[in-house]
Amino acid sequence: MVFETHTLSNGIRLIHHSVNANVAHCGIILNTGSRDEKEEEWGIAHYIEHVVFKGTTKRKAYHILSRMEDVGGELNAYTTKEETCIFSTFLDKDYKRAVELISDITFNSIFPEKELEKEKEVILDEINSYKDSPSELIFDDFEELIFKDDPIGRNILGTPKHVKKFKRDDILNFIKNNYHTDQIVISSVGNINFSKLVKIVEKYFGNIPENIRTTKREKPNSYEARTQTMIKKTYQRHCIMGNIAYDLDDERRVPLSLLTNILGGPGMNSRLNLTLRERHGLAYNIEANYTPYADTGVFSIYFGTDEGNLDKCLSLINKEMELLCTKKLGPGQLTRAKNQMIGQIAISSENNENLMLSIGKSFLLYNKVDSLEELYQKVESITAEQLLEVANEILNKDLLTTLMYK
């Protein structure tokens, strides 16, 4: 897999992968998210993601929304704790249209006060909707518990109290303080000559004033295992347990990703799915997740079950974790686990939108992108001894935080 790159004079970087397809994908990824907010700004990164579509110096909201959809394309955005992304899917003939629009809404939005007030109601409704989804809400409450009193622990949406107070100047200040050109990547996957793409990107992003990041994020506070029960009056009992984990620069993140996949990945043959769902019929949803951040990470196991099954589920999960901590995988087990993960990586790379976002994030963080062959090699090089070591560090029952909804 070949990647072509270019750096603008203001520090904005471009990465492109050429594919022989009529449909193209392009987006801007900024290395800023909810963890970069001050306490009084809680929720503003996500709020900005909404209101950048409400008007620019040359377009009203309707014209922004119609610009790509008029030619059958799509425009979207998302915010995480460490990144903000605006991206589009379109026919390859519309590259210029897409790149120009992404630049316009990222850097020329005017944030009309009337539109800002209307969008607050939309976000308040989104917050309330989230509260009605305990299987999603519990992940945010869990990270707030393990990253207690730290910005990275706060949920992305913010609170109604904070959202209601946001003003136009708050938005402009956050953008000025956090949208650094050396922390921005334009990512593209599509059928276009790279030199032509460079000219388009230079035209619409080259005149953005240089704004270099001079500060570093503060590392989260020291971790302390906790157990907490929250009364939510839900039909099911929801439970999540986990630990802090390896950051984005830690080489152990690859073995931990494989261990997570073995324990509770998306495959129906994960250990937790086979134990809780297939053998005992105790849970419909059971999963393990690992999310690495710039200077920390989160490992978690989530499940939902009837109240009478809660203790049995916890007992079975603890047994599976103990097995991974005490019994080394045999050669056949290890080979099957690696093949499964390699297959998942390969299938994911066939989705060009996912590929565009993936290579953009990798280039943003590491200034390089591993080829599929290099990724496969990293998985193939994992040893049973490494998995055992990682399991004993991350699945140590004395270090696990547990949160339950009852």
Do 249 and 396 lie in one domain? The reply is yes
Residue 219: inside a domain: no
Which of residues 206, 236, 254 is at a domain's end?
A: 206
* SS3 readout for 297-334: EEEEEEEEECHHHHHHHHHHHHHHHHHHHHCCCCHHHH
Burial annotation 144-181 (CB, 10 A radius, 16+ → b, else e):
bbbbeebbbbbbbbbeeebbebbeeebbeebbeebbbb
Do 110 and 7 lie in one domain? The reply is yes
Q: pLDDT value at position 233?
A: 81
Q: pLDDT value at position 131?
A: 87
C-alpha to C-alpha distances, 301 to 259, 286, 289, 320, 386, nearest whole angstrom: 12, 7, 6, 12, 20
Residue 197: inside a domain: yes
Contacts of 282 (CB under 8 A, 6+ apart): 276, 305, 309, 312, 313, 316
Give the CA count within 13 Å in the CB-facing half-sphere of 364.
25
Do 165 and 263 lie in one domain? The reply is no
Do 243 and 171 lie in one domain? The reply is no
Cα-Cα-Cα-Cα dihedral sign, residues 293, 301, 359, 175: negative
Q: Which residue has the tokens 């009364």?
A: 231
Do 233 and 370 lie in one domain? The reply is yes
Torsions phi, psi for 89 (to 5 deg): -120, 135
- Domain count of the chain? 2
Q: pLDDT value at position 368?
A: 96
Determine if residue 171 is left, alpha or beta; phi over 0 gives left, psi from -120 to 50 gives alpha, anything else beta: alpha
Do 244 and 280 lie in one domain? The reply is yes
Do 232 and 144 lie in one domain? The reply is no
Residue 221: inside a domain: no
Which amino acid makes up residue 26? C
Residue 217: inside a domain: no
Do 197 and 314 lie in one domain? The reply is no
Q: Give the largest Cα separation in the chain, rounded.
A: 63
Give the CA count within 13 Å in the CB-facing half-sphere of 143.
24
Contacts of 264 (CB under 8 A, 6+ apart): 270, 271, 272, 273, 286, 287, 288, 289, 301
Contacts of 122 (CB under 8 A, 6+ apart): 50
Do 202 and 251 lie in one domain? The reply is no
Under a CB-based contact definition with an 8 Å cutoff, are residues 3 and 369 in contact?
A: yes
Q: pLDDT value at position 66?
A: 96
Rounded Cα distance between 380 and 229, Å, is 40
Rounded Cα distance between 273 and 288, Å, is 10
Which of residues 171, 206, 241 is at a domain's end?
A: 206
* SS3 readout for the chain: CCCEEEECCCCCEEEEEECCCCEEEEEEEECCCHHHCCHHHCCHHHHHHHHHHHEECCCEHHHHHHHHHCCCCEEEEEECCCCEEEEEEEEHHHHHHHHHHHHHHHHCECCCHHHHHHHHHHHHHHHHHHHCCHHHHHHHHHHHHHCCCCHHHCCCCCCHHHHHHCCHHHHHHHHHHHCCHHHEEEEEEECCCHHHHHHHHHHHHCCCCCCCCCCCCCCCCCCCCCEEEECCCCCCEEEEEEEECCCCCCCCHHHHHHHHHHHHCCCCCCHHHHHHHHHCCCCCCEEEEEEECCCCEEEEEEEEECHHHHHHHHHHHHHHHHHHHHCCCCHHHHHHHHHHHHHHHHHHHCCHHHHHHHHHHHHHHHCCCCCHHHHHHHHHCCCHHHHHHHHHHHCCHHHCEEEEEC
Q: pLDDT value at position 162?
A: 96
Give the CA count within 13 Å in the CB-facing half-sphere of 49.
27
**pLDDT of the chain, 406 residues: tens digit per residue:** 899 999 999 999 999 999 999 999 999 999 999 999 999 999 999 999 999 999 999 999 999 999 999 999 999 999 999 999 999 999 999 999 999 999 999 999 999 999 999 999 999 999 999 888 999 999 999 999 999 989 999 999 999 999 999 999 999 999 999 999 999 999 999 999 999 999 999 999 999 999 999 999 999 989 999 999 999 888 899 999 999 999 999 999 999 999 999 999 999 999 999 999 999 999 999 999 999 999 999 999 999 999 899 999 999 999 999 999 999 999 999 999 999 999 999 999 999 999 999 999 999 999 999 999 999 999 999 999 999 999 999 999 999 999 999 8
Which range of residues forms the domain containing residue 53? 3-206
Which of residues 206, 240, 265 is at a domain's end?
A: 206
The CATH number given to whatever domain includes residue 40 is: 3.30.830.10
Do 267 and 346 lie in one domain? The reply is yes
Residue 216: inside a domain: no
